[in-house]
Structure 1
């Protein structure tokens, strides 16, 4: 189980901080003080850890932490008079600016250079938590620069929740979480109080689980992070949210990525599907069996008669067109042909040739034309044209009529 709280937000119009900050609370989560004013207020602590987030060292002139104080739900503290502040950086001092509710940390020198090995901690302790449930914004503002540029303010804001005293949400666990089979299932369990609404989030799915403490998820095909989000809306204008996470890993997971560059080999044991196309810039080497060529289909079997006949087809995938002339009884002469763009094949048959064969490649979405010409009648011939696709795709007969017959004496080249 992991905690995703408090939430960090940044102003997209402001300068990005040169330092990186993480905030945690003690206790976790913070609880709002009881509404009865005669009871003592609860105390809480904010712990902020800072480090360099850029490659270049940063000069830091001051760090301010704003803790909103008052009696409303967006306020964290009733007041800051009892709070104590500390920073781990040597020779830094701190002052409380009551008018702005800010703790201001400054170095003894004009600034301090924070390098990649300089991490630090800020602790704000003994904060009197106010009596309203809600979310308060804690803002960390650094006045910093890189190189010889001018110092400027850069801010990071954290949303910190104050929950009801009896709220709890814990032990979010996924059983079989170490490694499950692709397509397997897991059961998620958790503990929670009844004074909040709960959602289970993963991928693009959002499930209302307010009345549940367990849920089984089936058909998990990839590594998945599950989020359990609890929301208390005591103040509908300022709800308070807590989130827990649980992660499940899948053995041999399905992957969906944008761009993928692989410098080694790809082994696809159960097939490789590429939609809409597979482009190979280098050499395509097939070391095992291939199912590239599919079963051939007869697409035309013209009967030899004097004159010329032709048909035009459209290929729905790349493939081979194959033509056969088998002389069953001697006699007669003729000609078969194939043409697709600039690619062409043709051959003559004689009365005594036993078998004549033509083969021509055809590209996807191209038309091709088949022709048969009998120059001299006689004998008995069997003429067949076949289509062998490279993939799943047949051909469409584009001829206006079944056959185009040209009288003998004026043969037309296909």
Structure 2
């Protein structure tokens, strides 16, 4: 039966506080067997207690009162034999009852075992469906359960889930296409507005107001263009499906290139960089996407940092993974809010906006790139203040010790 669940808005099959479906099926099967066995045993006991008796023949009128001595002796013998027969019948009924109870107990145990096996066999397709559904995520919505077999309730459930996955895949694809197409289409009006500003400023002796307005509009256009580029990178990362044949990418080399490109910003903010990048830490995938991932992490560490603060960068091999860690100091952050930073446009407030603003897509792009390469991204609010970002990607076997 279905009962409402207190912890979530939905329905749960079974009873409140019940165990797994397999356990409930086992108990139902064993309970039904036990009840029918008790009913059968009670019916047999009642039937065995019904006796058919007949009256002893009375003395003939011709005989003396009380009958002859031989007749009286025979009657006593008959009564003794009747008593013995009744005792034997009572003992037989007792043994029958005890034996039936023992047999019922044994069969109850056997029914529990048989019910457990049968319930497992019946629920096996559901377990397979559950395991397959758990493996399907936003990155592999193209996969289907594709359950074969008779058109029963299990196949109907699997087909329903396949239909749901198909609709989700279409929705995700439409969303990503919209983001990519909108970003591309908006580039044209942005280029037109930028050209119009250049023409206005290039006129002979432009007014001071015109120049000031042009500078302000250029700054806003740069922000919009930065946001559009973020949308494009996010859409590309979400569509990316890196193959095993793609190039081997050294994480150390990507970190060095990002540090060189951001050297002026690091110097301007008086940041101290603790470089613990090790050689030979490599992964396999799209080098352009992985480079954008490292650049976003370093940009996040620079922009959302205190003036005169510090940044620690490190790479290492751990349990078959190539790990990149970017750690910064700063204010004490809430872990619950930090975990939401991978969502688009999620920020920790104005204090982390930075002097040049932020699109709010940096870590969203990082999360998409890491997921596309089969890795994992961990965000940890340091107890001393600041943020620790860990990226773990599949390592290339035998790359340890190679040049960065």
Q: TM-score, normalised by structure 2?
A: 0.18
Q: Which has the higher helix share?
A: 2
Q: TM-score, normalised by structure 1?
A: 0.18
Larger Rg: 2
